[in-house]
Copies of this chain bind each other. A is one copy, B any other.
Amino acid sequence: MIVSTPLGAVLVSSLPRKVGLLGAGRIGAVHARAITAHRGSDLVAVSDVVTDNAAQLAQAYGTVARSSDDIIADPSIDAVLIATSTDTHCDFIEAATAAGTADLCEKPVDLDLARARACQEKVAATGQPVMIGFNRRFDPSFNTLKSALTAGEIGKPELLSITSFDPAPPPVSYIKVSGGLFRDMMIHDCDMANFIMGAAPAAVMAVGSGAAFCYDQRIELLASDGLLQAQNMLENLVVKSTSAGVTGAKPQHFFLERYMPAYEAEWAAFVDAVENGTPMPVTLADGVQALTMAEAATMSVKDKKPVKLVEVT
C-alpha cells in the first residue's frame, strides 16, 4: 500500500512496482516524469517506433529502451502505460491485457467506435484492469468541483459549461491524423461532462467556430443553490498594479504545464486501484462513452441538428 500525499508522510511498505512505457513522444515524456516521481513506481523500460526517441527518454530517466513486444512479454513488468499513436491503442491494450499486465492507455481508445467497442469486449473477457487516460478527472480543481456537487453543497445541477480552448490552432500534421478536434481533444470535455454529471447526455448539439488566444480551461456549474467555478491556473501569482491597471499572469501555456499535477495524480490513482484491487477510476466503457459523444457531435455539426446518443452506431 502506497500513500503518496502528503509528500513523504507515509513511506512505502512494498517494493516499487515495475512499469513499462510504450511511446516516447511528447505525452510519453509526460508519463515518464509522472511514473518516475511516484514513490512506489519504477520505470524499467521505454519503447517507441522511433528508437532514438526511446533511447533518449530512457537515458534521461536512467532506464533502458526496449521494443514494445519485449516490454509486454516481460513477466517482471507489472504495469504498462500505453502512450503510442491512437491507431495502435486497441492492439496494445489487447496484447498487454492478454499478457496479464494492468494497463493505463491514453485517450482516445480509437478513432473508430466499432473498433473501440470490439476492444472493450475482448478486454472484458480477460478480466484485466484497464484505465483510460482522462487525466483531467484528477485535476485538483475539477475534482474539488465534482466533490462539492456530490456533497450537495450547491443543490441540483442545472447548467454545466466547460470552456476548453487550446492556445493556438493545431498544426496541419495533427489535423490529418487526429480524427478531428471532437474525437481527439473535445473528447476530454465529453468525459468531463459525464464525470461531473454522473451520466451521459441524451443528445448532443454542436456548432463550430474558432478562437484561440490562450490555454483557457475553465468549468462553471450552475445549480439550484449555488454556482461552482473552476478558474484558470495562472503562470504565477504575481499581480502588478500601476497607473495603467492591475495585471496578472496569463493562464499556464498548455496542457503539459496546466495538467502535470493531474497526470501525476492519475498515475497515483491507477497504482492505488491496482494495489487495492479496486475498480479503475476511468474505465474502457468511459472511453467508449466519450467517443460516442464525439461521434454524435461530429454528426451534429454536419447535419445542423441535435443527435441523440442512441442514434450513433
Q: Are the CB atoms of A226 and B238 closer together than 8 Å?
A: no
**CB of A232 closer than 8 Å to a CB of B:** yes
Q: Are the CB atoms of A257 and B60 closer together than 8 Å?
A: no
From A11, A30, A241, A251, name the one whose CB has the most chain B CB atoms within 10 angstroms: A241
List the B residue with the shortest CB-CB distance to A13: B56
Q: Are the CB atoms of A62 and B246 closer together than 8 Å?
A: no
Tell me the complex Cα distance, A144–B237, Å.
9
Q: Which of B167, B222, B243, B248 contacts A245 (CB 8 A)?
A: B248
- Secondary structure at chain A's binding surface: helix, strand, loop or mixed? mixed
Q: Given A8-B256, A60-B11, A235-B140 in contact, is the A214-B240 Cβ separation under 8 Å?
A: no
Q: Are the CB atoms of B37 and A8 closer together than 8 Å?
A: no
Say how far A1's CB is from chain B's closest CB, in angstroms.
13
Q: Given A39-B61, A244-B250, A246-B247 in contact, is the A238-B8 Cβ separation under 8 Å?
A: no
List the B residue with the shortest CB-CB distance to A40: B60
Q: Which of B30, B42, B60, B223 contacts A16 (CB 8 A)?
A: B60
By a CB distance below 8 angstroms, the chain B residues around A230 are 236-238
Q: Are the CB atoms of B228 and A213 closer together than 8 Å?
A: no
**CB of A288 closer than 8 Å to a CB of B:** no
Q: Are the CB atoms of A211 and B158 closer together than 8 Å?
A: yes
Number of chain A residues whose Cβ lies closer than 8 Å to a Cβ of chain B? 77
Please, what's the 1-or-0 string for A30-72, where 1 marks a CB less than 8 Å from any CB in chain B? 1001001101101000000000000011011110000000000
**CB of A12 closer than 8 Å to a CB of B:** yes
Q: Are the CB atoms of A8 and B36 closer together than 8 Å?
A: no
Q: Given A60-B40, A62-B16 in contact, is the A240-B223 Cβ separation under 8 Å?
A: no
By a CB distance below 8 angstroms, the chain B residues around A145 are 238
Q: Are the CB atoms of A236 and B59 closer together than 8 Å?
A: no
By a CB distance below 8 angstroms, the chain B residues around A244 are 250
By a CB distance below 8 angstroms, the chain B residues around A214 are 227, 241-243
List the B residue with the shortest CB-CB distance to A8: B29
Q: Are the CB atoms of A240 and B148 closer together than 8 Å?
A: yes
Q: Are the CB atoms of A6 and B241 closer together than 8 Å?
A: no
List the B residue with the shortest CB-CB distance to A227: B241
From A8, A37, A251, name the one whose CB has the most chain B CB atoms within 10 angstroms: A8
Interface positions of A from 149 to 198, Cβ below 8 Å from B: 153-155, 158-159, 161, 167
Say how far A266's CB is from chain B's closest CB, in angstroms.
15
By a CB distance below 8 angstroms, the chain B residues around A235 are 140, 144
Q: 19 pairs across A/B with beta carbons < 8 Å? A: A8-B29, A11-B56, A12-B56, A15-B59, A16-B62, A141-B238, A144-B235, A155-B211, A158-B209, A212-B224, A213-B223, A225-B242, A226-B242, A228-B239, A229-B241, A231-B239, A241-B250, A246-B248, A246-B250
